[in-house]
Structure 1
Amino acid sequence: MATKVLDITKEHCPMTFVKVKIELSRLQSGDILEVLLSEGEPLDNVPRNAKEQGYNVLGVEHVEGTTHKITIKK
């Protein structure tokens, strides 16, 4: 099982989940994607969209300032 980090803190919706989906497509089943993103729309939309696509959202945590980390298992 591999872990990949994707920083989309400078991206805006709808590109946030598009980038997450592209990165998830490159991973093997069981791999972990840690997504760094900004609060607001991305923080609301990315976990919801990941769940709707059938991915397992393992956690959402505050990192610092307006940055959060979402951990997704493929």
Structure 2
Amino acid sequence: MADFTIDETVDITDVVCPMTFVKAKVAMEELEIGQVLSVHMNDGEPVQNVPRSFKEEGQQVLKLIDNEDGTYDLIVKKLEE
């Protein structure tokens, strides 16, 4: 059982960099501190850039789940505005 509850989900599989992080960041801005966002994204650039960008902004990356179908789910907890 996971030690977190997902409060919101955003799908960025149809978005191209650099808009991938922009769309994920907008979704994060809608959350309250302490809430958790799940970001559904494609393999490749987003998997490298989106987690790093959230860390740089002071958010907590909880988990990166490989769905084994070319997509990933990034679980991020909001720590800062």
TM value normalised by structure 2:
0.86
Which residue of 1 is the match for residue 7 of structure 2? 3
Q: Which has the higher helix share?
A: 1
Of 62-71 and 29-38, more deviation after overlay is shown by: 62-71
Local SS of the residue matching 2:67: strand
Q: Which has the higher strand share?
A: 1
Offset, 1:65: 1.1
Candidates 42, 52, 59, aligned match of 2:46 = 42
Offset, 1:63: 1.4
Rounded Cα–Cα distance in structure 1 between residues aligned with 2:23 and 2:68: 22
Number of aligned pairs? 74
1:19-58 equivalences under 5 Å are 19-58=23-62
Unmatched 5+ residue regions in structure 1? none
The share of aligned pairs that are identical, in percent, is: 42
RMSD, aligned α-carbons: 1.2
* 2:42 maps to 1:71: no
Deviations 1:17-58 (A, max 9, x none): 001111111100000000000000011000000000000000
TM value normalised by structure 1:
0.94
Rounded Cα–Cα distance in structure 2 between residues aligned with 1:57 and 1:2: 13
* 2:64 maps to 1:60: yes
Offset, 1:64: 3.4
